[in-house]
A and B are shown apart, each in its own frame.
Chain A
Amino acid sequence: MNDSRPVVVHMEDICKRFGAVQANNHISLSVRQGTIHAIVGENGAGKTTLMNVLYGVFPPDSGTVSLYGQPVRFRSPAEALQAGVGMVSQHYALIPRLSVLENLMLGGEGASLAPLPRAQVLARAQELAKVIGLQADWDAPAGALSVSQQQKVEILKLLLRDARVLIFDEPTAVLPPADAEAFFALLHRFTEEGRTVLLVTHKLQEVLGHADEVTVLRAGEVVATMPVREAPGAEPQIDARTLARLIVGEGGVLPEEELLLGKRLDDKPRLRVEGLVVPPIRSRAGLKAVSFEVYPGEVFGVAGVDGSGQAELIDALVGLAPPTQGRIWLNDEDITCAPPSARLRKGVRYIAEDRHLRGAILGWSVAENAALGLHRQGGFGSALSLSFARMKEFAQRIIARFAVRAPAADAPFSALSGGNQQKVVVGRALMETPVLLIAGQPTRGLDAASTRAVHHAIREACRQGAAALVVSFDLDELLTLCDRIGVLFDGRLVDIVEGERRRREEIGALMVGAVKGGGA
């Protein structure tokens, strides 16, 4: 053990309650200088809450925080930053319409009416950008950057303030594999410089591969804190099974290891896409003449680096973006120009990649969100009436089947943790077997048990005759879940891999355009 290293962050007996939920229950945590300290746990275990307390987003109900042995009480992130504690939150905190440079200058020191320190910040940023490998147009709006670049800008922002304690909340959730590896190389570099890293994650491989110590949270309490390795770079002393068992507790569900392959139930395609062209929405490329078919009983995966045309594909399939060319057939019926309501009626269901933006209305109750989009066919009433009883009953069935941690069916949706919100959105799409499921990152931000539940639900729906198309940036997810995987690169479907060729390396190379696929 590295007992010689001084404790930088010490949190003692932290309690934090949100309404009926005790998010943090007497949590104590010590983090040593120059280490990567991982914090793991299921959704709703209290990881993010604890980090928000440390970063001064909200104060704890009770308990103390000390930094380098000095008690501190941050009343805002500004004070935390000033003391050298910085956080890169799960949903990146860059303001999309401000330029990269403006984002970097934001929240910095300096008298209000002083001129913006453009030149100084730019000079230092350029220097630091070389270190962390960021290439960006400083005057471009931050929203135009790829997720990997945005993350680097966030890191740069903390380095500019010379943060000594860096908190990362699910940092690799949306990064392509190669960028995730580069990210961890950067973390090791930081710890060598004497900085301290707190890593909130639910990917056990990241803990075993990179962390020095790990703290496991379950239901708001610390289950265990233990060293992962003797020294940086050494082999881990614990294995994934032990860790997973600690996370889920006795009788919990362990993450899956088996593949979930299905079989085609029919040779007639359920979904046929031919020569689809969609103008760019959130990528540079848009979608360029993409053709493929999805058959009943199978899960068709779509791999690719973020911004390769996934958003355009999904929008065209659910009816939110009209294609300029090409056709979409559902069971031999042309639905190219059908509005979303018509597609819903025909049994197309959609799990949105961004539940806040598209999946749910935060101010509504769980029950209302459960019925959202199904209001026409779910038997919840007619144009002039609405049966809240039936909506609640439907929500309760989702809560039961997907083990949603919700106080009640009529509780506000915003009271649920992110993972539980996602379960409601997934449950809504899958309670009745859909004809076609369109899913964008269906397990984004979910823990092992919930991910497994969602995967099995998708599989089960396909066994019952559904066809599914799943877009994900997590290659492991696609490899576990999908029968065939189409790879998007620069708006084109460069290849569809199945059978022997379903390998990480093969798909990874196709994703970055390193090899030309067979075409599709």
Chain B
Amino acid sequence: MGEVFDIELFRSALRLATPLALAAMGGILSERSGVVNIGLEGQMLMGAFVGWAAAVALGSGWLGVLCGVAAGMLLGFLHALLTQRFRADHVVSGMAVNLLSAGLTVFLLRRFFERPPGASGVPNWGLEWLQPIPLLGGLLSNQSPFVMLMLILPFALHALLYHTVWGLRVRAAGESARKSRLAGIGVVAIRYRCVMLSGALAALAGTYLSLSQLNVFTEGMSAGKGFIALAAVIFGRWTPLGATAAALGFGFLDALQQRLQGETLFGVRVPSEVLLSLPYLLTIVALAGLVGRSIPPQDLGKQEEGE
């Protein structure tokens, strides 16, 4: 029993939470500006593929990350174009992004790579000087740079959203496009930027999967993580810190589930499927208002009305 909750469990929880938290930050940016982005899943997958492919071609993990992020940004641009310029329904457009990514990555993978080679990934940071610090040293030394980023980014985003002029405009655009426009805010421009950044962050999460966790791309490797990230956004009430906490919680459940394969917890054998489904169940609980009300931005997913 004692050996279930060791430091390695928490280290792995951090690693598993990283893609969720990074993509969730993207989800927050997009949704706070008023655009539903269920395309996080597809953007993550595309980021994973392009990042890995570019790393293989260019021989550098970091260059791969850069290319992956650019690809995610492009998908974000597509989503913004469809929803803002052509006024497509946000969910439909997001689904289109997901389907496009799922199909395109498989097609390109089979067309260009007979047997997917390993890429030169992004190496972990040793950070040996952290070692002597109890707990922190154990948790953070020799982890991926992405993990560090995941721990810093929420604070940066929090500062951006709540303490800068731009953040206020983003929140206003998500609450009421019409009123924001009357107040002199370029709502559409803000939404374009937010959705593109959202795609970039989701893709960054994807490159973590293919260049830091595994160093190889496998078909459909995002495996629903984009949707769990979206759940973390809702669970965290559309706030960066809340969503990160939710992502860490989901990551912990995932780590626990992997650890408990075939083992018992407090004398009970818990099927891993139950733990795997917990993020979704918890999201339903959050949406039902059982842990305080989770209220989305008021104009989320609405088309701007003409005068």
Binding site for B on A (CB under 8 A): 52, 57-58, 76-82, 87, 89, 93-98, 102, 105-108, 110-117, 157, 362, 414
Q: How far is the CB of A458 from chain B (nearest CB, A)?
A: 31
Interface residues in B282-307 by Cβ distance below 8 A to A read: 298, 305-307
Are the C-beta atoms of B175 and A106 separated by less than 8 Å? no
Q: Could you name 12 residue pairs across A and B whose Cβ atoms are closer than 8 Å?
A: A57-B182, A77-B183, A93-B179, A95-B175, A97-B175, A102-B172, A105-B168, A106-B169, A113-B160, A113-B166, A116-B164, A116-B165
Instruction: Please name all residues of chain A whose beta carbon is closer than 8 Å to the beta carbon of B307 when the two chains form the complex.
Output: 52, 57-58
Are the C-beta atoms of B165 and A111 separated by less than 8 Å? yes
Q: How far is the CB of B144 from chain A (nearest CB, A)?
A: 28
Q: How far is the CB of B305 from chain A (nearest CB, A)?
A: 7
B171 interfacial contact with A, CB 8 Å: yes
Closest to A55 in B: B182
Q: How far is the CB of A190 from chain B (nearest CB, A)?
A: 20
B153 interfacial contact with A, CB 8 Å: no
B82 interfacial contact with A, CB 8 Å: no
Are the C-beta atoms of A107 and B164 separated by less than 8 Å? no
Q: How far is the CB of A138 from chain B (nearest CB, A)?
A: 14
Q: How far is the CB of A390 from chain B (nearest CB, A)?
A: 29
Are the C-beta atoms of A114 and B164 separated by less than 8 Å? yes
Secondary structure class of chain B's binding surface, majority of residues: helix
Among B165, B169, B175, B186, residue most surrounded by chain A Cβ atoms (within 10 Å): B165
B180 interfacial contact with A, CB 8 Å: yes
Chain B 183-202, CB within 8 Å of chain A: the 1/0 string?
Answer: 11110000000000000000
Among B164, B168, B180, B185, residue most surrounded by chain A Cβ atoms (within 10 Å): B168
Instruction: Please name all residues of chain B whose beta carbon is closer than 8 Å to the beta carbon of A108 when the two chains form the complex.
Output: 165
Are the C-beta atoms of B163 and A107 separated by less than 8 Å? no
Q: A58-B307, A112-B169 are in contact. List 8 more A-B contacts (CB 8 A).
A: A57-B307, A76-B184, A76-B186, A78-B186, A93-B183, A96-B175, A107-B185, A117-B165
Secondary structure class of chain A's binding surface, majority of residues: loop
Instruction: Please name all residues of chain B whose beta carbon is closer than 8 Å to the beta carbon of A102 when the two chains form the complex.
Output: 168, 171-172
Are the C-beta atoms of B185 and A106 separated by less than 8 Å? yes
Are the C-beta atoms of A112 and B179 separated by less than 8 Å? no
3 A-B pairs with least C-beta separation: A78-B184, A107-B183, A112-B166
Are the C-beta atoms of B172 and A110 separated by less than 8 Å? no
Binding site for A on B (CB under 8 A): 160, 163-169, 171-172, 175-176, 179-186, 298, 305-307
Are the C-beta atoms of A77 and B171 separated by less than 8 Å? no
Are the C-beta atoms of B168 and A106 separated by less than 8 Å? yes
Closest to A95 in B: B175
Instruction: Please name all residues of chain B whose beta carbon is closer than 8 Å to the beta carbon of A81 when the two chains form the complex.
Output: 184
Q: How far is the CB of B256 from chain A (nearest CB, A)?
A: 36
Closest to B176 in A: A95
Are the C-beta atoms of A115 and B163 separated by less than 8 Å? yes
Question: What CA separation (Å) do A89 and B176 show in the bound complex?
Answer: 15
Closest to B297 in A: A97
Instruction: Please name all residues of chain A whose beta carbon is closer than 8 Å to the beta carbon of B172 when the two chains form the complex.
Output: 95, 98, 102, 106
Closest to B306 in A: A414
Instruction: Please name all residues of chain B whose beta carbon is closer than 8 Å to the beta carbon of A77 when the two chains form the complex.
Output: 181-184
Are the C-beta atoms of B182 and A89 separated by less than 8 Å? yes
Instruction: Please name all residues of chain B whose beta carbon is closer than 8 Å to the beta carbon of A105 when the two chains form the complex.
Output: 165, 168
Instruction: Please name all residues of chain A whose beta carbon is closer than 8 Å to the beta carbon of B185 when the two chains form the complex.
Output: 78, 106-107
Closest to A106 in B: B183
Question: What CA separation (Å) do A81 and B169 show in the bound complex?
Answer: 16
The answer, among A76, A78, A98, A157, for a CB contact under 8 Å with B175, is A98
Instruction: Please name all residues of chain B whose beta carbon is closer than 8 Å to the beta carbon of A76 when the two chains form the complex.
Output: 181, 184, 186
Are the C-beta atoms of A112 and B171 separated by less than 8 Å? no
Q: How far is the CB of B175 from chain A (nearest CB, A)?
A: 5
Instruction: Please name all residues of chain A whose beta carbon is closer than 8 Å to the beta carbon of B180 when the two chains form the complex.
Output: 95, 106-107
Instruction: Please name all residues of chain B whose beta carbon is closer than 8 Å to the beta carbon of A58 when the two chains form the complex.
Output: 307
